[in-house]
A and B are shown apart, each in its own frame.
Chain A
Amino acid sequence: MHLEDLADKAAEFRAEEAAVEQEIRVCVAASCQSSGSVEVLAALRQAHPDGDQSCKVKGVGCMGLCSAGPLVAVADKGGELVDSILYRDVTPDDAPDIMGSVRGAPVERLRCPTEQPFFSRQHRIVLENSGIVDPVSFKGYVVAGGYAALLQAIIELTPAEVLHEVTTSGLRGRGGGGYPTGLKWSTVAKMPSGQKYVICNADEGDPGAFMDRAVLESDPHRVLEGMAIAAYAVGANKGFIYVRAEYPLAVERLRTAIRKAKRGGLLGSKIADTEFSFEIEVRLGAGAFVCGEETALMASIEGLRGQPRPRPPYPAESGLWGCPTLINNVETLANIPPIIREGGDWFASIGTERSKGTKVFALAGKIHNTGLIEVPMGTSLRDIIQVIGGGIPEAKAFKAVQTGGPSGGCIPERHLDIPVDYDSLKTLGTMMGSGGMIVMDETSSMVDVARYFMEFCMTESCGKCVPCRAGTQQMYGLLDRVARSQATRADLSLLEELCEVVQATSLCGLGQTAPNPVLSTLRYFRHEYEERLADASARASASRSHQDE
């Protein structure tokens, strides 16, 4: 298939639906499904008058405002989400009303205004098709311009030119580390040719994070397209998507997408009559958080016990079965097609000096608008939480926001104005992480938060290295003592000492960052620890010092 053929195909698919003017879009991503959107979709299909060609009822991916699901949007064909009429908390009983409103007045009782900042302040690149395109439809993706970037890359560009665009874009790894994607790709590309692999890391495991799940469920073809472009650039012919088995819907949609893309000639051997061949296989994780670490993930794909090994050698040099391997996260790969389509300079014009593009965040916890948002890098935390997220419910006061999952930290009120980018978050003792944001209000205890994350790290430690295996055990025990008001000042200093040792000596990122939630809550909320100490004198001095602040 060539670019023109793809354009023809898109036109042909479009013609099939020429009569359609209006679309009724029902979110069928996991969150809305769990609140009954499949039934809503069925009811709407039933209410849809036979022979009405001008209106189409379809399932789409995530529209973001998960807390208001099931969401249904009535829009002009191919129209943007912000321009649609959006309905919230829809039940199957509402189907006739919604159907009736298509050419009439909107159903006011169900309206969810799209003028609100939650929608209007977003900048959707990764999620551009999400909520618009049917995730199980290959045609839908092609009509939306999908796979054009892949064909453009393999037909019109050399691998070096693709690398150049990605490097120019300034894209950095979205899995948390923030390593420059272009640099990673070039390293793999420079390895001697031979068997190379591309891996998509879809083992999203941070508590409260569901960005990658939404991308996979809402727009799976985009991830495949990103992988194929990456494979072309680095000279790989085989790809793996390592996705956690806890995401059955994502797995199903990925498998469907791979099948359809192959049938459409966009995966497989000699794509578009070029020398480029690329196959993708889905591999399921068996529920270990540590398998999100790249060396553990590769061991797991190889059929070995999923545990990390020392680096170097890095995967770029010696990865899957000893071959050079490129490993990127879902969101990173989802950014690739638009970068090729619009050019690296376009991407680099979005975001901040050192963090380019947009970032998808999953808002969770004590916040009005729980759900998924995509904003330009550099948006302030205050904007994200107070404006886009709609602030804290029940008129409670904001206390802290946790970013970066079990590897990250808590940011207090006084730092809310910092721009969200890789480097600013690091200076605050936390990290971008994969994009989970858990908001806490005045009722949350920061000791409990630290204990929760430490328990997570303890149960997810693979057990290979001593500091992580035994250190997280001990830190959890000490945090538990603090939480139960049984700890002494000596326990607190022991906790801090263990944090230092585990951070400095652990084998992999999981262990090295496991103390972060403790260190950051100690940094900003130390008084909460001291108030809970068992020795009365320590408590008294804690409350004095807190008052002095």
Chain B
Amino acid sequence: MPLPAIQPNVRVVTLKIDDQDLSAREDETIIEVCRENRIPIPSLCHLDGLSIWGGCRLCVVEMEGQSRLFAACSTRVAEGMRVRTNSERLQRYRRTIIELLFAERNHICSVCVSNGHCELQSLAQGCGVDHVSVPYRQAPYPVDSSHEMFRLDHNRCVLCTRCVRICEEIEGAHTWDIMGRGSDCRVITDLALPWGESETCTSCGKCVQVCPTGALVKQGTSAGEMVKDQQFLPILARRRHAR
């Protein structure tokens, strides 16, 4: 879903999030309003500046008068909306989703180059995940070190597709995509060529910077050394969409 261009004449609505009265432009999503107002909502796939994905489901919120849950990243605000972002039930669901991610692939933090700078790791801490109650899947995934500057470790990928989206939407290269189904899904470069052999990759490194975990990293980094910088994205995205 493409980001809507910012239109000059949008109405402003008022809504209530966790008992706070807030106003928002009607083309904003709940997560955007929450971020503006420093209301914490966990998310792995959402990133300001990229299109809506709705895959990690960590940002689900409750809406008064509705029995089903809504993903804050893909739900637009509306007049009079009443949102709860942090009920007991939501906290429990989020913990389970994070546990499912940890169990799905190899996310051993202590030996990860992103240790200490990883969004999955800090989400686990923030949401109170101190252990994983579901069994670990123990499925091995390959590592692609063929690119001279970067490295891809599928074992640490959470399939958030930030790399796919930034490459297509901001860099315009569409080097990344996804193949396979279910837990066998993998991000791929070109048509599943080794990254180093990709003819479309511009080596810009945007994918590496937006990757929330240690799946996409710079070559030559050791445990805990991979610090990412995502500041550029909102700035670039605004300039792109302003055109």
- Whether B182 pairs with A473 at a CB distance below 8 angstroms is yes
A residues within 8 A CB of B133? 494
- Taking a contact as CB atoms under 8 Å apart, the answer to whether B55 and A464 are in contact is yes
- Residues of B41-63 whose CB lies within 8 A of A: 52-58, 60
A450-505 contacts to B, CB under 8 A, are 458-467, 469-474, 477, 494, 497-498, 501, 504-505
B84 to chain A, nearest CB (A): 14
- A469, B183: Cα distance in complex, Å: 6
A498→B134 CA distance, assembly (Å):
9
Neighbouring A residues of B52 by C-beta, 8 Å: 310
Contacts of B103 in A (CB 8 A): 470, 474
Q: Are B180 and A474 in contact (CB-based, < 8 A)?
A: no
Bound together, the chains give a CA A310 to CA B29 distance in angstroms of 13
Assess whether A472 is in contact with B182, with CB atoms less than 8 Å apart: yes
Q: Is the CB of B182 within 8 A of A310?
A: no
Task: Check if B111 is an interface residue, CB within 8 A of chain A.
Answer: no
* Nearest opposing residue in chain A for B96, CB measure: A501
- In the complex with contacts A310-B74, A466-B101, A501-B96, A473-B183 CB distance below 8 A: yes
**Does B240 lie at the interface of the complex (its beta carbon under 8 Å from any beta carbon of A)?**
no
Verify if A407 is at the interface (C-beta below 8 Å from B).
no
Q: Are A505 and B57 in contact (CB under 8 A)?
A: yes
Cβ of A14 under 8 Å from chain B:
no
Closest approach, in angstroms, between the C-beta of B236 and any C-beta of chain A?
24
Q: Are the C-beta atoms of B181 and A467 separated by less than 8 Å?
A: no
Least CB distance from A480 to B in Å reads 11
Find out whether the CB atom of B100 lies under 8 angstroms from the CB atom of A459. no
**Also in contact, A461 and B182, with CB within 8 A (given A466-B57, A470-B104):** yes
- Residues of chain A within 8 A of B178, CB atoms compared: 305, 463
Q: Tell me if B's interface is mostly helix, strand, loop or mixed.
A: loop
Task: List, in ascending order, chain B residues with CB within 8 A of A459's CB.
Answer: 181-182
Q: Select one of B69, B75, B100, B181 contacting A466, CB under 8 A.
A: B100
How many interface contacts (CB-CB < 8 Å) are there between A and B? 94
Given contacts A310-B71, A474-B134, contact A467 B182 (CB under 8 A): no
Residue B232 lies at the interface, judged by CB distance under 8 Å to chain A = no
- Chain A residue nearest to B101 (CB atoms) is A466
A460-B181, A463-B181 known; A506 and B57 CB under 8 Å? yes
**Nearest opposing residue in chain B for A475, CB measure:** B134
The answer to whether B57 touches A507, judged by C-beta atoms less than 8 angstroms apart, is yes
| B134 touching A465, Cβ below 8 Å | no
* Cross-chain contact B55 with A501 (CB below 8 angstroms): no
Chain A CB within 8 A of B1 CB: yes
For B56, give its contact among A310, A458, A465 (CB under 8 Å). A465
Q: A474-B103, A504-B69 are in contact. Are A466 and B182 (CB under 8 A)?
A: no
CB proximity of A171 to chain B, nearest CB, Å: 25
Residues of B within 8 A of A462 (CB): 181-182, 185
Bound complex: CA of A471 vs CA of B100, how far in Å?
7
How many residues of A are in contact with the other chain, CB < 8 A?
A: 29
Is B184 among interface residues, defined by CB-CB distance under 8 A?
Answer: yes
Q: How far is the CA of A305 from the CA of B159 in the complex (A)?
A: 15
Whether B101 contacts A470 by the Cβ 8 Å rule is yes
A456 to chain B, nearest CB (A): 11
Q: Which of B70-101 contact A (CB under 8 A)?
A: 71, 74-75, 92-93, 96-97, 100-101
Complex Cα–Cα for A175 and B103 (A):
35
Contact status B177-A466, CB under 8 Å: no
A288 within 8 A of B: yes
The CA of A464 and the CA of B52, in the complex, are separated in Å by 13
Query: Given A470-B103, A470-B183, A505-B69, are A309 and B54 neighbors across the interface (CB < 8 Å)?
Result: yes
Of A288, A310, A477, A497, the most chain B CB neighbours within 10 A belong to A310
Nearest chain A residue, comparing its CB with the CB of B51: A309
Across-interface contacts of B56 in A (CB, < 8 A): 465-466
The CA-CA distance from A233 to B184 in the complex, in Å, is 43
Closest Cβ–Cβ distance, residue B9 to chain A (whole Å): 18
Q: Does the CB pair B100–A470 fall under 8 Å?
A: yes
Q: What B residues does A477 contact at CB under 8 A? A: 135
Tell me which of B60, B68, B71, B182 contacts A469 (CB under 8 A): B182
Query: Closest residue of chain B to A462, judged by CB?
Result: B181
Assess whether A498 is in contact with B96, with CB atoms less than 8 Å apart. yes
State how many angstroms separate the Cβ of B63 from the closest Cβ of chain A: 13
**B89 CB to nearest A CB, Å:** 8
Q: Does B35 interact with chain A (Cβ within 8 Å)? A: no
B93 touches A504 (CB 8 A): yes
Instruction: Produce 1/0 per residue, B165-208, CB < 8 A to A.
Output: 00000000000011011111100000000000000000000000
Contact mask for chain B residues 113-136; partner A; CB cutoff 8 A; 1 contact, 0 none: 000000000000000000001110
> 4 closest A-B pairs (Cβ-Cβ)?
A463-B185, A310-B74, A470-B100, A310-B54
Which residue numbers of A lie inside 8 Å of B, CB to CB? 288, 305, 309-310, 458-467, 469-474, 477, 494, 497-498, 501, 504-507
27 A-B residue pairs with CB within 8 Å = A310-B71, A310-B75, A458-B182, A461-B182, A463-B180, A464-B53, A464-B159, A465-B54, A466-B55, A466-B57, A467-B100, A469-B159, A469-B182, A469-B185, A470-B100, A470-B101, A470-B183, A474-B103, A474-B135, A494-B133, A498-B96, A501-B96, A501-B97, A504-B93, A505-B57, A505-B97, A507-B57
